[in-house]
Amino acid sequence: MTYLFISDLHLSPEHPRLIRGFLDLLCHYKEKHTQLYILGDWFNAWIGDDYSAPWLDEIVTALKQFDASGNQIYFQVGNRDFALGQVFLKQFNGVLLPDTYTIKIAGHQYRLEHGDALCTDDLAYQRFKKIIRNPYLIAFLKKTPLSFRQKLANGFRKKSRENKQQKSYEIMDVNNQAVLKALSDIDYLIHGHTHRPAIHPLEQKLRIVLGDWREKTGEAMILEVDEEGQQHFIKWQID
């Protein structure tokens, strides 16, 4: 059994190299009895489970093959793909996890989350998240035309880029007290979101930050854990 943790792939038709990198990852781990955990921002934007396109069909086909080989896919939503639901995942027997989720590997407790909830100093983002993740608003948006949702997603991405340019490095990173609280009753915390891959020892525990997938350099930091609990922080090379 191999436990594989990835996040922040930001897949989209505009970034074919990242798509190839993900398909190569599925092929590499296909015969390793893998539990694949995708901790948010799998896609650069998600406008609804009713969206379809050839590039996405290729990914779904590969995921079906991955599932058919005896592997399992788990997904937590991120700030870019919070509208992705079980309708999409059921095509390949994927499982939608709650915003925080705990698993046990070799007697150790691992807490999984995307990571944006830990950035409590970014008050503007937390306010926006509370509004945009309102289930009533999401239900309403799902009834609007795909073209409208696409324009809305483009607008959100543009606004997000502008906001990041105006914020300090510290504000957009995790809050230490939020991290300590998350680690209070578990051994390891795994998250993404910040795009700052590293392993941070904290009071005899670990916070493991997964890396974003980078098209220019062709690399991503991912985590592999085996049945014995051995952790391997791997630089995944994207051809």
* pLDDT for residue 163 is more than 80: no
Q: Considering only CA atoms, give the Rg of the chain.
A: 17
The model's pLDDT over 191-204, given as tens digits with 9 standing for 90+, comes to 999 999 999 998 88
The mean predicted confidence, pLDDT, of the chain is 92
**What integer pLDDT is reported at residue 34 of this predicted model?**
98
Per the CB < 8 A criterion, the answer to whether 78 and 8 are in contact is yes
Taking residues 153-161, what's their average pLDDT?
A: 72
* pLDDT for residue 111 is more than 80: yes
In angstroms, rounded to a whole number, what is the distance separating the alpha carbons of residues 48 and 34?
27
The model's pLDDT over 219-235, given as tens digits with 9 standing for 90+, comes to 999 999 999 999 999 99
Taking residues 71-76, what's their average pLDDT?
A: 98
* pLDDT for residue 150 is more than 90: no
The Cβ-side half-sphere exposure at 230, using a 13 Å CA radius, reads 6
Structural domains of the chain ordered from first start: 2-237 (3.60.21.10)
**What integer pLDDT is reported at residue 153 of this predicted model?**
79
Residue with tokens 């300590």: 180
**What integer pLDDT is reported at residue 30 of this predicted model?**
96
Q: Tell me how crowded residue 135 is: count the other CB atoms within 10 A of its CB.
A: 7
Q: How far is CA 133 from CA 36, 96, 140, 164, in A?
A: 25, 16, 12, 20
* pLDDT for residue 67 is more than 70: yes
**What integer pLDDT is reported at residue 188 of this predicted model?**
97
Helix axes of 16-29 and 54-68: crossing angle, nearest 10 degrees: 10
* pTM, two decimal places: 0.93
* pLDDT for residue 166 is more than 60: no
* pLDDT for residue 18 is more than 80: yes
In angstroms, rounded to a whole number, what is the distance separating the alpha carbons of residues 93 and 58?
16
Identify the helix (H) or strand (E) that includes residue 153. helix 146-166
Per the CB < 8 A criterion, the answer to whether 36 and 71 are in contact is yes
